[in-house]
Every structure is written in structure tokens, then in C-alpha cells.
A = this chain, B = another copy of it.
């Protein structure tokens, strides 16, 4: 790892000759987390200054699908006819976001989720009361969908399933609309914004309290005083090769890194250098984009030993996590002629074709009857609508009986896995950044992918914007005190 060429250590206030700018609350980064922090800090009466390194607001959130994970009985869930409660949402997230989700974060997130939905509507984010049943990003403007593994094994036995992917009402990608409304909200709330201002380090009092930031823009470094608090909403580190190598080397195998160049981890590093703690820096959302078309869920995922390893109807982020982290990224989808299709999002190679399972197995170089036995067992029970080993839902179970059979190569080296980092600063439910001893680092708050949030590794779509919007609000509000 190369040494970085500029200083990221906190600057002591004693060494600041002049503060060029001042505000009560300084928000670093104007994606979803930063916008929500700015709105709430301003509503709490603070003079807010947002520093954004890009030429305008939006960040990775504006480039995202725009889906937000909410539940517990939101107005939209009710309007679509779904029952949910904070307790059921809590159960699902505690079971699916591990290992070791932070109970306090999850608790706050669930308890206030219905009110959080209302708040987003107040900011002008529209949601259409229509449910999209296919459990991936709605291509049209439908408002609600299953965005995780709520209704599949094992989670459907742990918590009552409810769809919690809330999608802003627009055809296609929803991130731009979401951010347009949140940026408008931040402006209406009176937050000042400086663009092209890249925060390089924190400014700290001699007792460790964070008192501001050093921001570079137009070729000059400026000292910015934060009278009440700094809120770091500077994204993750999926675009920093050195950090990936150090902390999350397994994620490097994925072809499609989701983010912007701003996701270079600097927000995390400058906080660490000031004595903050970071958690689960190895974690990432790893998506294996199997669907659409949804028919492919009826295929059989096998590893390089020809064995199944998961219910194929699980959320694609769970499929990707298992495929990459537990199977070494070497997996195939076995299909028959009845369900054969190519994934719509990315090109796929066909690793083998055969008129019989034995032919397919031989073409994959597997010893007989490894794959054959796997598929015979699958078919034997699928005929009766059963999957006793991995519990795929009956609706997705159909024996593979229509030759030719094919093996789609979904290995990470040949297929497109999408990835972003989930590790980051340790925060409490107020968005306060904590030290290694678990104490708040005075004056410092954070939200979004700069933090380790709800999903410690296990992921469901919308949890990043969920973290960003919900804990962004908490961080802004508490920084303003």
C-alpha cells in the first residue's frame, strides 16, 4: 500500500491562524445522508454549511436505484394492503443483516420507520400506492416491492414477510428524483452549500473534540469552524483500491463497483486518524444479478463441486454474498430448455450444454455422478413442490426435465457482480461517531456509507438509502444541539 501524499491527520485548533468559514453544523458530502442531515440540522435551528467535493449535490445516491428500505407499517405499505410492524421488521433485520447487527441501531431504525416515511413524503418525495411483485427494481413507477429475502427461507419463518422496498414514483431509475427532492429540501431549509470543496482533514481541540474541517477548493485550503458539530456523509470506499486491498480484498473480485469517485474512503480515514472506530471494514453488498427474467429463479445454482448451496429465490445480494464469500465466486446456474433465458442486465457465457445431466456434468469437468445426483435429488422433490434441502418456494420449483440442459457461468471472474462497501465508522443511534472505547467522539457525527449501519454484511436493497436518510436525519439533529 502506497503512502498517501497529503496529511489526513487532524489539525490542532492551536495551529489554525484563521477560520475562513464558520457554521453551527458542517456537513461533509451532499448525497442522501448529507441532504437529510442538513435538513434536520437546519430545522433544529442551526446555521448549516454543506461542503461537497463534486460540482453539485447528489453523490452516489443520485446514481442509485433510489429504493429506500422502510417498514413497520408505513402509509405506503398500508395503502398497498400489507401489514407490517416495527417488531416484525426488527426480527427480519436482526436475522438477515448479520453477523452481529447492532440491536440499538436496528431498534431505532424500525421503531421510527413509519414516521420516517412520512417525513420523506413531506420533503416532496412521491410514492405511488402500487405493489410490484417481481422482487427486483421496478422498471415502471410502482412504489413498493420486496427488496430483500423477507418472503423466502429462512426469513419467512423468522418474521412475517412484508415488502419494504419503497421506490420514489418515476419510471426507471429513482435515485435522481429522490435526490432532487432532498436537495430542494435542504435548500428550502436554508442550508448553505459549497461545491468543489473537498474536505481533507478534521480540526480538533487539544482534548480531541472535533471543531471543524480543512476543505480544499479553487486550489486553496480553507479552515472551516463547526461551532456545534461536523457530520461526515462522505460515502464509502469502493473506489479506493488501497483501502479495498487492506480491508476488503475479497470485494475486489467484483467487476461492477457501485459509487462515484467520491467513494474513496477519505471521510472514514480522517475520522479514524482523529481516534474514531470503524467496524466490519471487510463487509460489502455483493449482488449477483440473476433476474430479470424471473424465470431464472427456477434454475439450480451449483458450486464448482456441482452442489447446491442456497435457495435460488433468495435476494440477489444474498446470492452474491454466498457465491463470492462462501463458494469462492465459482458458481453455475443450471437450466433446462423450458426456462432457458439469458439474464437481462449483463452478458453471460454458457459453460456447458447437454442432452442429459450426465453430458452436462462431463462437459463441466465434474466427476460422475456429482451434478447428476444433485439434479436428480432436486427434480425428485421439485415434482412435488418440495425443496427439503434449501427450501425454495413452491412457485419457483419446477423439475428440470426439458433437454437440452445448460450451465450458465455465473462465476465472479466471468459474470458481472455489483459491489459496494458496507464497513465504516461506528455510530450510535443518534449518529454520533464512537471511539474504540465506545464513547462518543465529541463534535463528530456520521451517516450513510461512511458508517457501518444496519447491514453488517447481510444486505437487502434499500438499506443504504435507509441508513443514509434515517441516520443522516439523526446525525443532523443531534449535531445541531
- Whether B249 contacts A99 by the Cβ 8 Å rule is yes
Which residue on B lies nearest to A381, using beta carbons?
Answer: B367
Shortest CB distance A40–B (Å): 25
For the complex, is A281 an interface residue (Cβ under 8 Å from B)? Answer: yes
Central interface residue in A8, A247, A366, A456, by most chain B CB within 10 Å: A247
**A76 interface residue (CB < 8 Å to B):** no
Which B residues are CB-close (under 8 A) to A206? 12, 14, 206
Task: Confirm or deny: A363 has a beta carbon within 8 angstroms of a beta carbon on chain B.
Answer: no
Whether B272 lies near A274 (C-beta < 8 A) is no
Stretch of A26-34, A113-121, A431-439 at the chain-chain interface: A431-439
A12, closest chain B residue (CB): B206
Check A437–B273 contact: CB distance below 8 A: yes
A438: chain B residues at CB < 8 Å are 1-4, 242
User: Chain A 431-462 against B: per-residue CB contact (8 Å), 1 yes, 0 no?
Assistant: 00001111100000000000000001000000
* A179 CB-CB contact with B under 8 Å: no
Contact check, B305 vs A390: say whether CB atoms are below 8 A apart.
yes
Q: Does A268 contact B (CB under 8 A)?
A: yes
* Given contact pairs A98-B249, A438-B1, A389 touches B305 in the complex (Cβ within 8 A): yes
Question: Shortest beta-carbon distance, A286 to chain B, in Å?
Answer: 13
Q: Which residues of B contact A249 (CB under 8 A)?
A: 98-100, 456
List residues of chain B with CB within 8 A of the CB of A45. Answer: none
Most chain B C-beta atoms within 10 Å of own C-beta, residue among A14, A305, A325: A305
Which of A142-150, A180-188, A351-359, A369-377 interfaces with chain B? A369-377
Q: Which residue of B lies closest to A439 (CB)?
A: B3
Nearest B residue to A270 via CB reads B436
249-307 of chain A: CB within 8 A of chain B:
249-250, 268-270, 272-275, 277-282, 305-307
Give a binary string over A387-422; 1 marks a CB under 8 Å from any B CB, 0 the rest. 011100000000000000000000000000000000
Q: How far is the CB of A370 from chain B (nearest CB, A)?
A: 6
Q: Does A245 contact B (CB under 8 A)?
A: yes
- Is the C-beta of A246 less than 8 angstroms from some C-beta in chain B? yes
Contacts of A325 in B (CB 8 A): 326
Chain B residues contacting A14 (CB-CB under 8 Å) are 206
B residues less than 8 Å from A381 (CB atoms): 367
Closest to A243 in B: B436
Decide yes or no whether A426 CB sits under 8 A from chain B.
yes
The answer to the question of A174 belonging to the interface, with a C-beta cut-off of 8 Å to chain B, is no
List B contacts of A367 (CB < 8 A): 377, 381, 388-389
Asked whether, in the complex, the Cβ of A439 is within 8 Å of the Cβ of B281, the reply is no
CB distance from A6 to the nearest CB of B (A): 8
Contacts of A2 in B (CB 8 A): 438
Question: How far apart are the CA atoms of A130 and B9 in the complex, in Å?
Answer: 52
Contacts of A326 in B (CB 8 A): 325-326
A35 CA to B210 CA, complexed, in Å: 38
- CB neighbours (8 Å) of A389 from chain B are 305-306, 366-367, 370
Separation of A400 and B315 alpha carbons in the complex (Å): 39
Closest to A282 in B: B282
Asked whether any CB of chain B lies closer than 8 Å to the CB of A208, the reply is yes
Provide the bound-state CA to CA distance between A370 and B100, in Å: 31
In the complex, what residues of B have CB within 8 A of residue A208's CB? 9
A164→B277 CA distance, assembly (Å): 36
Chain B residue with Cβ nearest A98: B249
- Report the nearest B residue to A14, measured CB to CB: B206
Task: Please report the C-alpha to C-alpha distance between residue A206 and residue B14 in the assembled complex, in whole angstroms.
Answer: 10
Q: 9 shortest A-B CB distances, which residue pairs?
A: A100-B249, A367-B388, A269-B436, A373-B373, A272-B436, A4-B437, A326-B326, A8-B437, A99-B249
Q: List 22 A-B contacts (CB under 8 A).
A: A3-B437, A4-B437, A8-B435, A12-B206, A99-B249, A246-B279, A249-B456, A269-B436, A272-B272, A272-B277, A273-B435, A273-B436, A273-B437, A274-B275, A275-B275, A282-B282, A305-B308, A305-B389, A305-B390, A307-B307, A326-B326, A370-B377
